Structure 1
């Protein structure tokens, strides 16, 4: 059976110049003998300034708002990042504002910027963005998640007051995916806006919003790796320039490992593609969670003796393959991909989050022990990918082609644009191992998506043959679009939206038997849970109903995980979702406007019980957790106490009386307990390799039934009766 592998030979890349002419130069590599020296960056012409403060904003369309003399003095001031749906997009009712909003900024760039090239870079704006400088329209971007840049050199006046006006529109647009989705579409400039200043000779930021540098590692092993560095250069000066291109590869401590360099003649007004290549001996491999080692690549452009431009990018050497029978392999070793999908929003902030909150997200991912992260359902910001690289998370990233398509050339073209943007902007991140081309594309009735899915899979292979395409399907198993991507994965909600919890394993066996050469993964599964809702009986609630007890979410995750863990052919196991997120059309689980399938709450303040189930299964440091920390007032005296732990054994104490020590093969420990009326102290003590850890809580029991004997001297009547076969008495 064929395995999809990331070891690929370098290919020839072409890039068309501004005048439609092909400018292609192959460079030879000449290494500078400076290994071991610390890289000390010199001052260069490139500067980047974040334009975050002093904006004025209005949430409506206003005629003439792009004008240089337009009076915006009555508009409220705002800072970026900003969204106008941070409140109405999370309160339910499916009635949040979808329309136009205007941003205006007065800005005086330094007079020293005269004669240089000026770009406005937008890290993300939803959905259609029109940009004006001093009343002149400089461009439009269609798409809500990729970064994009415009050359504003002709419009911006260094040393003078300039007006930057931006119109953002999050209205439904039949030409731009996503057309619909189960999450709120937060309108606005929800990521940073920057002013980028470069020398006329520079590495271009206009190649689909990328940094203009692409790193291709091939034939990677622990002995050696081939490396190709590709840079898109532009000469905005009126005459030809001969420049020196240098790529300095540095280790994690910025010590030079090797250097590639060559000279290149750049025609005036044209793009040129520079290729430099060489071999790295004994590379330190990027090894996932255990060893996410990163090199740094500094690409320099020198015009004569002057350093005119420099771009830094991360570099991780790794190789991987996906085997239909045995799952994912990283650097030649089996590497279990288990983890979560994750949206980018945060309570009361929508998508306008700060870097520290992204850091907090990754702290939770590390704590729970995830090895893999699906960035749903769109391109996330650069900082998120940087954090994945540094923390060793394997990443699935995707475009927002969701629910249905429009069968039109404009829609097809925009989907392809968004895929190119995603691939080129995230090309150098070693954490990224696949490109997602759609999610649940047949959820709503409409034109067949198969032709588009095939085109996108082919485009992904053309853009980056070193990484496979992937899709998240929820249609019937024989739906043609399901099988267009190189890797297959499914969103399956057995026991929640359909079927029984126990159906997952048999379904996996069936789909594998019918498709033995395909790699099969699970990209979504889960159940809603409101941590204020509880039940002693753990019966299945209505998914769209008002009651989502935490105990049912626990049960579903326990049984789904065990079914997947027993099947090593499942190449990824990604639950839905890391955190609750805004979906303004929802009204369920007592939480209007929220999808409550997260392992943590929308504000990240509360870890639900299921978080600790996965922590017990996915981490090795001793931990123990008693479920029901928010189930303070129990509904019965005779209950089952459940503990999640990765310890060798766990002992439970109720009112300081031991109920016995248990061991477990699935990290689940249970005891039958009879609570006293009123407060009951509960403590679990886990032991692993002579280390002990504990967790405690208090449960209030209802009035004791008449048949319950008088309490002992220690104040409790408990049952030490054994539980299910999952645990045994010591």
Structure 2
């Protein structure tokens, strides 16, 4: 016999009967293993937005908000999107049960089959199933999906500090089942649920229950459940006979499967057993099959001692997570989502708060495999609507979340409200306000009761903002089994050092309630650095100090069961301005998942392997002003490590060894102009570990007659920050008062919003027309002149302006979690001024607000020749109000 493949022909000498038997065997195996078909239909959808006639071809995952949430126009499209696709169906499926399975579409979805409505779903973050009936099976069947992310007062979330991306943003599948099958037609689970009970180090019982549906005929069936270990070896099985009647959902529970000497699931060893549950006909044919992972573990929370897993004390340490990614919005492939869990695990984390909504199943699958304990919550954020519709939808979301995620051993907590008293209603109507709070409490209690009834095997939790007394007075801390606190001392208000004492006070107020710190963090724009870091400057240096204080306070307090940094990665928040508009920068990673120094700080603190990282290694371009005529300038450099000591080398020369304190060593490193080679060395357990970095340094001379040649300088006024423009390879230095022979400002004061509890200088208003907002967010007001004592030559001078006050300026935080921010509504007098460059009038009667509007970037470029020793002088002459300058660039023209 000849077997012909694509490239070769083989002679088979064995009897043809063996081949036939093999084929039959494979077909039997295929039929047994694929009785439940899930067919991906992500490709090739026609899409159009609203009433637009422009149709595009898209693949799912898809969102229509990937771009407009990042532009300079306030708001983003919240409305209807239409998706259309032809279905190709096999004739043999005519007797099957067909349905569409949507993993997520935000937020109201209606599905049409051949022009007829066949189902709908409310809620943007849980999966749903739409049965398909009346299919033609002739190639003309067409599915139309209407998705609407418009505001709806009956659908949570109503408001939140994240973007409500619209679209069919998770996978869509066609599900093909036999007429008799496992089913949960209401909550879109697989219809089979497994959990372990009576778990100890010596024994455990595995319990399986669920529902089946019979749309064929009355039948006698057998449910066979088999437990295997991680290698596939059978441990035990359980059989249950059941009589199924037509068109009726039948609940079932199989007899417990006992496991002797179980291997317990933990972060260190996330061992997974597998439960295979089969639905068998009377003659033994497999009608349906569901395979589920099982992690055998037991856990508890204690108000004084924290969290225990398998009888051992554990400090839950990790992050919260949003699901969006740079350039993609929330339409993120599963592989990238799994990468987030890998990054969390590599950081040494053992806990993930899936916030503020259920996320892709791939996330929790990864948590199961990697040993990450998890909490999951529904998106009741900031406030509620006091309506039957809102309550009904919230309850449905809660049950969907639990049913769909029930089989993940990583989950230990179900949550249902976040900072629900933050956006308080009826502040001017005391009695009505009390009624509103009572309704919030009623909804919380109903969700608590529903959660415990649906799944009594896990804990429940609410997360609250810093108004501790408000939540206690409302009775909200008594309802859940755990209370999470979102605490931002040293960011939205107060000092970082207040965090630990504040934890002690909370524990004293509610000593019988286990607590977690479910949010803490500080904005870090990795382009911004400061050697004099202050709150709200968005610098990497302030963020490091903040997190060092918080880590220390958390680890010192056994009653803090766990802590989740806000956030794993930066995420989209369209309503925010900030130094990166529309992005919340509190992530340990950037929006495209590049680590910040704070990520390495957690890695040094919590991973078990020896670790060493030059913290400023990612700060590959930096600069500074020489303080002497030396050819080097010393600046702070940080090395992060979990070793005892670190030795640092700069350009081949050792700076000696330093002892590591709280996983950090700080150095004064001498940088030369140009490329600098940095190396850090440590020894751990007799093994040498190293890290290296190459840093380009722009050394500005003390005076312009020094040996260091001048090429260009970029200056930010009214700021103590250094800004790095990686795209243009530019270092922007903070300004200085003028010094003879050097450069600097004469007169002027740093801009600050008066009576504001925000940063001590500047604004973080979105500056339109630029990606480099920090250049324009600070300024000097009322300066007389700017002087640069440059030698003879030809130069390009660029002045940067932006009006920071007036209509549209944001003077209060969009999310004030500590209620400590004062608001200024002051509108300053109009300013009009002239600008002279070396005695030549170059800008006449400029009126930034009137001509360009508020918070728009303005650049004025000029050429200038220096023919004497007077250098470059920029003179500001006020006509009305005070002159301003935000930033300045001077470049030598060769």
- TM-score normalised over the length of structure 2: 0.71
1:689 and 2:667 correspond: no
Match of 2:570 in 1: 580
Match of 2:559 in 1: 569
Q: Does structure 2 conserve the Cα–Cα contact (< 8 Å) formed by 1:230 and 1:275?
A: yes
Q: Does structure 2 conserve the Cα–Cα contact (< 8 Å) formed by 1:623 and 1:646?
A: yes
**229, 232, 256: which one pairs with 1:254?**
232
Structure 1 unmatched ranges of 5 or more: 1-38, 63-71, 542-546, 712-730
Match of 2:643 in 1: 647
1:281 and 2:259 correspond: yes
Q: Which runs of 4+ in 1 moved over 6 A?
A: none
Match of 2:467 in 1: 476
Decide whether aligned partners of structure 1 residues 93 and 325 sit closer, same or farther in structure 2, where only a CA change above 3 A counts. farther
Q: Does structure 2 conserve the Cα–Cα contact (< 8 Å) formed by 1:92 and 1:586?
A: no
- SS of 2:572's equivalent? strand
Q: How does 1:50-449 map to 2 (within 5 A)?
A: 50-61=40-51, 75-91=55-71, 93-152=73-132, 154-237=133-216, 239-305=217-283, 306-446=285-425, 447-448=436-437, 449=440
Match of 1:551 in 2: 541
Structure 2 unmatched ranges of 5 or more: 1-28, 426-435, 626-632, 709-894
Decide whether aligned partners of structure 1 residues 103 and 703 sit closer, same or farther in structure 2, where only a CA change above 3 A counts. closer
Decide whether aligned partners of structure 1 residues 654 and 175 sit closer, same or farther in structure 2, where only a CA change above 3 A counts. same
Match of 1:465 in 2: 456
Match of 1:540 in 2: 535
Distance 1:164 1:677 in 2: 64
How far apart are residue 593 of structure 1 and its match? 1.3
How far apart are residue 286 of structure 1 and its match? 4.1
Distance 1:283 1:705 in 2: 73
Decide whether aligned partners of structure 1 residues 367 and 162 sit closer, same or farther in structure 2, where only a CA change above 3 A counts. same
- SS of 1:105's equivalent? strand
How far apart are residue 46 of structure 1 and its match? 2.1
* 192-201 vs 92-101, which moves further: 92-101
Distance 1:571 1:494 in 2: 19
Q: How big is each residue's C-alpha offset from its partner over 1:318-368, in whole Å with a ceiling of 9 and x where there is no partner?
A: 000011112111111011210111111111111111122122212211221
How far apart are residue 594 of structure 1 and its match? 0.8
How far apart are residue 155 of structure 1 and its match? 2.6
Distance 1:667 1:630 in 2: 18
Distance 1:616 1:296 in 2: 35
How far apart are residue 443 of structure 1 and its match? 1.7
Distance 1:283 1:464 in 2: 26
How far apart are residue 115 of structure 1 and its match? 1.6
Q: Does structure 2 conserve the Cα–Cα contact (< 8 Å) formed by 1:92 and 1:584?
A: no
How far apart are residue 673 of structure 1 and its match? 3.7
Q: How does 1:481-500 map to 2 (within 5 A)?
A: 481-500=476-495
Q: Does structure 2 conserve the Cα–Cα contact (< 8 Å) formed by 1:682 and 1:699?
A: no
* 697-706 vs 342-351, which moves further: 697-706
1:625 and 2:613 correspond: yes
Distance 2:190 2:358 in 1: 15
How far apart are residue 41 of structure 1 and its match? 8.3
Match of 1:669 in 2: 665
- SS of 1:430's equivalent? coil
Q: Does structure 2 conserve the Cα–Cα contact (< 8 Å) formed by 1:633 and 1:699?
A: yes
- TM-score normalised over the length of structure 1: 0.86
How far apart are residue 703 of structure 1 and its match? 4.2
Distance 2:638 2:34 in 1: 61
**551, 571, 583: which one pairs with 1:594?**
583
Distance 2:238 2:31 in 1: 16
Q: Does structure 2 conserve the Cα–Cα contact (< 8 Å) formed by 1:652 and 1:685?
A: yes
Higher CA-based Rg: 2
- SS of 1:584's equivalent? coil
Distance 1:43 1:361 in 2: 31
How far apart are residue 629 of structure 1 and its match? 2.7
Distance 1:485 1:414 in 2: 20
Distance 1:316 1:155 in 2: 41
Q: How big is each residue's C-alpha offset from its partner over 1:370-399, in whole Å with a ceiling of 9 and x where there is no partner?
A: 110111110011111111100100001110
Q: Does structure 2 conserve the Cα–Cα contact (< 8 Å) formed by 1:284 and 1:293?
A: no
Distance 1:485 1:458 in 2: 9
Distance 2:454 2:166 in 1: 30
Decide whether aligned partners of structure 1 residues 293 and 159 sit closer, same or farther in structure 2, where only a CA change above 3 A counts. farther
Q: Does structure 1 conserve the Cα–Cα contact (< 8 Å) formed by 2:78 and 2:166?
A: yes
Distance 2:222 2:179 in 1: 15
Q: Does structure 1 conserve the Cα–Cα contact (< 8 Å) formed by 2:266 and 2:297?
A: no
- SS of 1:227's equivalent? strand
Decide whether aligned partners of structure 1 residues 286 and 389 sit closer, same or farther in structure 2, where only a CA change above 3 A counts. farther
Q: Does structure 2 conserve the Cα–Cα contact (< 8 Å) formed by 1:247 and 1:259?
A: yes
Decide whether aligned partners of structure 1 residues 694 and 186 sit closer, same or farther in structure 2, where only a CA change above 3 A counts. same
Decide whether aligned partners of structure 1 residues 502 and 384 sit closer, same or farther in structure 2, where only a CA change above 3 A counts. same
How far apart are residue 199 of structure 1 and its match? 1.2
Q: Does structure 1 conserve the Cα–Cα contact (< 8 Å) formed by 2:33 and 2:289?
A: no
How far apart are residue 701 of structure 1 and its match? 6.2
- SS of 2:61's equivalent? coil
Distance 2:30 2:691 in 1: 50
Distance 1:91 1:364 in 2: 29
Distance 2:464 2:220 in 1: 51
Q: Does structure 2 conserve the Cα–Cα contact (< 8 Å) formed by 1:117 and 1:197?
A: yes
Q: How big is each residue's C-alpha offset from its partner over 1:257-305, in whole Å with a ceiling of 9 and x where there is no partner?
A: 1111121011111111110122423353443321001111111111122
Decide whether aligned partners of structure 1 residues 196 and 677 sit closer, same or farther in structure 2, where only a CA change above 3 A counts. closer
Q: How big is each residue's C-alpha offset from its partner over 1:216-273, in whole Å with a ceiling of 9 and x where there is no partner?
A: 2111012111222102011112x32111111111111222211111210111111111
Q: How big is each residue's C-alpha offset from its partner over 1:199-218, in whole Å with a ceiling of 9 and x where there is no partner?
A: 11110141411111111211
* 279-288 vs 556-565, which moves further: 279-288
How far apart are residue 159 of structure 1 and its match? 4.1
Distance 1:134 1:205 in 2: 25
Match of 1:33 in 2: none
